[in-house]
């Protein structure tokens, strides 16, 4: 990692620690996940609701066992730079599935926050999602951008939803890269030309709508013979589910893809996925994509 990016990640992790020390209020940090940080285990006192009674001490002056923090509470949360879109959902779902403590740092892409030097130091492509893990490899902070790379990182870190042996990860990687290079970009373009382009260009709408249709068909065929994309539930499914959630916007009728529909409903019903989809960023609901200021930020970007 280049020095500047490394330093920024470390600074960011440290500054968030200072911020948390200044205020234990979840709201003061922006949106906070429904994960372990915001809903601490009932058996342990939460940071924001300290026990009123004086903590009992052992002979050595340490808090008694029952009052020590759980291992999860001792871990500094991962910072998730996030906006509620299919790419953002991938990471909130994975963090929820892995029960990793995390804090959401909203990046309002409609206001251009993705271009701030602090964010670019973590995500040089001016795109969210990105994460800073204060407990990276070797116990040192690390930042990761690109949703596929983040999913693989978290899968390797936790040993969950990304198998470790030589054979099984091949299928996971195939479907993950299929999403990153195919479903995501094609669905993004379909969405753009159908809903955001200043003029309705029939050729572009048809091309990208057809391509999403083809890709949904590929998934449907795969899922006819497999419960999940790579056999067992994995980061490949996590990468795809948000795009299928928006099927209608891309001109697709899920009922025409029965195996895909079965898969989507099974994933949507998972408690972690429900928690991730329930994260609300108020500012995001207020964005007006017709607002010329928003359009100037998001569309027509060139090299800077």
Ligand X SMILES: N[C@@H](CCC(=O)N[C@@H](CS)C(=O)NCC(=O)O)C(=O)O
Instruction: State which of positions 154-213 bind ligand X (CB under 6 A).
Output: none
Strands 130-133 and 78-82, by their bridges, are: antiparallel
Binding string, residues 138-157; x marks residues near ligand X by CB under 6 A:
--------xx----------
By CB under 6 A, tell whether 135 contacts ligand X. no
CB nearer ligand X, residue 47 or residue 249: 249
Q: Which is nearer to ligand X, 36 or 130 (CB)?
A: 130
Give the sheet arrangement for strand 78-82, strand by strand: 102-106, 78-82, 130-133, 142-145
Show the site string, 95-114: x = touches ligand X by CB under 6 A, - = not: --------------x----x
How big is the site for ligand X, counted in residues (CB under 6 A)? 11
Closest approach, Cβ 171 to ligand X, in A, equals 20
| Residue 93 lies near ligand X (rule: CB under 6 A) | no
Nearer to ligand X, 72 or 204 (CB): 204
Binding flag, residue 128, ligand X (CB under 6 A): yes
Question: What is the torsional sign of CA 179, 180, 183, 184?
Answer: positive
User: Is 126 a binder of ligand X (CB under 6 A)?
Assistant: yes
Asked whether position 276 contacts ligand X by CB under 6 A, the answer is no
Residue 87, interface with ligand X (CB under 6 A)?
yes
* Residue with smaller CB distance to ligand X, 88 or 101: 88
* Least separation in angstroms between CB 152 and ligand X: 12
Per CB under 6 A, the segment of 46-54, 58-66, 125-133, 205-213 that binds ligand X is: 125-133
Query: Does residue number 85 form part of the binding site for ligand X (CB under 6 A)?
Result: yes
> In whole angstroms, how close is the CB of 110 to ligand X at the nearest point?
9
Decide if residue 283 touches ligand X (CB under 6 A).
no
**Using the rule CB under 6 A, which residue among 20, 37, 127, 275 binds ligand X?**
127
Residue closer to ligand X (CB basis): 101 or 148: 148
Burial of 204: CB neighbours in 10 Å, binned 0-12, 13-18, 19+: middle
Smallest gap, in angstroms, from Cβ of residue 186 to ligand X? 13
298 binds ligand X (CB under 6 A): yes
Backbone angles phi, psi at 287, to 5 degrees: -70, 130
Stretch that binds ligand X, among 65-73, 123-131, 242-250, 273-281 (CB under 6 A): 123-131
Residues found near ligand X in the complex (CB under 6 A): 85, 87, 109, 114, 126-129, 146-147, 298
């Amino acid at each position: 990692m280049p020095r500047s990016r490394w330093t920024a990640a470390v600074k960011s992790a440290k500054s968030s620690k200072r911020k948390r020390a200044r205020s234990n209020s979840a709201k003061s940090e922006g949106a906070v996940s429904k994960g372990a940080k915001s809903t601490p285990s009932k058996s342990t006192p939460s940071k924001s609701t300290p026990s009123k009674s004086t903590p009992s001490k052992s002979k050595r002056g340490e808090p008694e066992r029952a009052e020590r923090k759980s291992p999860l509470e001792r871990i500094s949360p991962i910072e998730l730079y996030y906006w509620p879109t299919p790419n953002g959902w991938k990471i909130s779902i994975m963090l929820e599935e892995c029960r990793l403590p995390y804090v959401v740092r909203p990046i309002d892409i409609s206001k251009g926050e993705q271009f701030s030097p602090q964010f670019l130091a973590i995500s040089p492509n001016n795109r969210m999602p990105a994460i800073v893990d204060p407990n990276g490899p070797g116990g040192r902070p690390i930042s990761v951008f690109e949703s596929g790379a983040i999913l693989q990182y978290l899968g390797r870190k936790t040993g969950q939803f990304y198998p470790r042996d030589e054979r099984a990860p091949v299928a996971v990687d195939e479907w993950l890269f299929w999403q990153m290079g195919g479903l995501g970009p094609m669905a993004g373009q379909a969405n753009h030309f159908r809903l955001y382009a200043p003029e309705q260009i029939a050729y572009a709408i048809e091309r990208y709508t057809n391509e999403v249709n083809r890709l949904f068909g590929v998934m449907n065929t795969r899922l006819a013979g497999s419960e999940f994309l790579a056999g067992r539930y994995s980061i490949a499914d996590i990468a795809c589910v948000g795009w299928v959630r928006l099927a209608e916007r891309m001109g697709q009728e899920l009922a025409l893809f029965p195996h895909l529909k079965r898969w989507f409903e099974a994933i949507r019903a998972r408690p972690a996925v429900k928690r991730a989809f329930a994260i609300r960023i108020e500012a995001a609901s207020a964005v007006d994509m017709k607002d010329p200021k928003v359009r100037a930020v998001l569309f027509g970007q060139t090299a800077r």
